[in-house]
Amino acid sequence: MCGIIGAVLIRGQVAPLIRQSLKRLEYRGYDSSGIATVEEGRIYIKKDKGKIDDIHRRLNFDLLPGVIGIGHTRWATHGPPSRSNAHPHIDCNNRIAVVHNGIIENYQELRESLVDRGHSFLSETDTEVIPHLIEEALQTTKGLDQAVGKILPKIEGSYAIAVLDTSGTSLVCARKESPLLLGLSNDGFYCASDVPAFLPMTRQIIVLEDEEIACLTTQGATLYQLSPKGKLFKLPPKSPTTVQWTLDMAEKGGYPHFMLKEIHEQPRVLRDTLRIKKAELQKFAEVMNNHQTICTVAAGTSYHATLASRYMFSQIAGRFLHSVVASESPEIIDTSLGDEAVIIAVSQSGETIDTIHAIKDLKRQGCTILVITNTIDSSITRLADSVLYTQAGPEIGVAATKTFVTQLACLASLSICVGEITGKQTHEEARHLLEELNQFPELLQSIIRNQESIVKETAQHYVAKPSFFFLGRGISRATAMEGALKIKELAYVHAEGYPAGESKHGPIALVEEGFPVVFVAPNDRTRRFILGNVMEMKSRLAQIITLCSGDDERLAELSDSVIQMPSNLSNAFSPIGYVVPLQFLAYYAAIQRGYNPDQPRNLAKAVTVL
């Protein structure tokens, strides 16, 4: 998740304005930044690794000349943070500059064919193919807007781009599945990933839709519809809407807290993560398949993702995984594992010291280390033999939400890949599982739309309860544990996440009239046993809150509160969907108890102490 901005001013100097806008977009990514401007037929660029203020102190962005400019703050996806990977990127002749937010899925193929045609590349990014493609298109089309239109149908994946060239008369921007807004004022015209970029300049906003292109000049913004063949059709002018948000609200996308914003972002980041290249998964999967023992190490929510993955790997790939809590790893993992074992370390921050210690130790023992993380260039990546990146973007709320579902998506994709290699899944079956997985972004959208207000009411109903159980069987045990962790850390309510079948071996002793028990009960092969557990709790007068399939009348009938989930949600990957109402439950319980869910007490986003 990067931030982009483009501006065409009627007078004045654009660079200081772009720098300040980038600063307001820094919450979208902050590992490198850059600005390009154009004046008198020449493009000027300053960019580097690091935070915008530090780069500005070194390079002074404000000295860049001109009234047209583009800027970028990066959250690395392809290629580590470095000056060469920082945006803007240019063509061979330094005549075109581009900033991009999104992921180009077919960049490898595009890059190879551009190299064959004599183009030279300076970075490892997917973005750099864009200026080179435009360079070619400009040889046969008239004007930057036409050239941009011509190349966009060649790009698979997502993009929000802003482009300028040495003609110095316009700035062209376009989007597909990545956000892009236009801002209109008396002093200039702007495009940016998000509202905070514009706020001091204008509150008059136009939302650009997928496959629309805008050409900004000192005269205004002209909008075009892009045809599948790359032709541009002029659209009638759109009337801007006025945003009323304060800067603080705008950074949170209008939500009162980052956590709520991040819960709502889940469909999009999940879609981005499911775009991970098959070749990258294949590499991981083959390493896993070539080892006798597979262990996962992780902490907190990341541990819950690995716990869910045990079920996926055993049922989909026919492989048994040992899931170890990172801080316990030195005590539990046999020192004779050596090169027979592959370790999958999962950490959103890549800085959790327990996980780092565990893998240092296991590396010394000769184990192969595979890492799944959300943070490029984090400490954990330097210890890894291979890395897979989730595509959640920066998570600012202390509680992990969107990073959890993206970790699950990575692990689920891997389990399918390994399943195909081991022969547990035929090619056809694997394809079917992938189709099921790819439905989740849409399903999450509908869960968020349909369940948020119901869960909010449920939270209200149970808010005074001092203690909860969260129970699930099979893969839902991981979801239950994650639900309990969330409400514990945000609402400061005692909660135990437990395997439902195990609850009768002790925890049930606590249950008395009105004790709330949350059951995570998808309609999978564990459901008939869950019914028994529900009856056990009911007969002790517990209050039953159930997350179950929308068509599960029996469970609904037995429950005091029901949260109905889409009945077409795949059981193999159910935590990706079932965790969402539990995130809302924790969020609204925290709000109703008067706590700030973004900054729970005693917790830190990256825990760097043992």
Decide if 283 is catalytic: no
Q: Does 406 bind ligand F6R (CB under 6 A)?
A: no
Ordered DSSP codes for 177-216: BS--EEEE-SSEEEEESSGGGTTTT--EEEEPPTTEEEEE
> What's the N-to-C CA distance of the chain in angstroms?
30
Q: How far is the CB of 378 from ligand F6R (least distance, A)?
A: 9
In the chain, how long is the greatest CA-to-CA distance?
81
Q: Does 355 bind ligand F6R (CB under 6 A)?
A: yes
Residues 531-570 contacting ligand F6R, CB under 6 A:
none
d(CA 165, CA 163): 7
| Structural tokens at position 326 | 């990172």
Of 309 and 355, CB closest to ligand F6R: 355
d(CA 37, CA 14): 8
Of 212 and 395, CB closest to ligand F6R: 395
Of 179 and 575, CB closest to ligand F6R: 575
Q: Does 396 bind ligand F6R (CB under 6 A)?
A: no
Q: Name which position in 3, 300, 474, 581 contacts ligand F6R (CB under 6 A).
A: 300
| Structural tokens at position 54 | 């530090």
d(CA 215, CA 173): 7
Q: How far is the CB of 42 from ligand F6R (least distance, A)?
A: 44
Q: How far is the CB of 307 from ligand F6R (least distance, A)?
A: 12
Binding-site size, ligand F6R (CB under 6 A): 15
Question: 316: which DSSP letter?
Answer: I
Identity of the residue numbered 199: L
Q: Does 349 bind ligand F6R (CB under 6 A)?
A: yes
Decide if 173 is catalytic: no
Inter-residue long-range contacts of 380-388, CB under 8 Å, 24+ positions, other chains counted:
380/345, 380/347, 380/350, 380/351, 380/352, 380/355, 380/356, 381/350, 383/356, 383/359, 384/345, 384/359, 385/287, 386/283, 386/284, 386/287, 388/276, 388/280, 388/281, 388/284, 388/414
d(CA 499, CA 594): 30
Of 134 and 399, CB closest to ligand F6R: 399
Q: Does 352 bind ligand F6R (CB under 6 A)?
A: yes
CA torsion through residues 345, 349, 351, 354, sign: negative
Q: Does 347 bind ligand F6R (CB under 6 A)?
A: yes
Q: Which residue stretch of 164-172, 295-303, 408-416, 504-512 sits at the interface with ligand F6R (rule: CB under 6 A)?
A: 295-303
Q: Does 92 bind ligand F6R (CB under 6 A)?
A: no
Q: Does 302 bind ligand F6R (CB under 6 A)?
A: yes
Q: Which residue stretch of 262-270, 288-296, 297-305, 567-575 sits at the interface with ligand F6R (rule: CB under 6 A)?
A: 297-305
Catalytic residue among 277, 456, 465, 605: 605
Q: Say how many C-beta atoms besides its own lie within 10 A of residue 108's C-beta.
A: 14
Q: Does 301 bind ligand F6R (CB under 6 A)?
A: yes
Residues in the site for ligand F6R, rule: CB under 6 A? 299-302, 347-349, 352, 355, 399-400, 485, 489, 606-607
- Residues designated catalytic: 2, 605
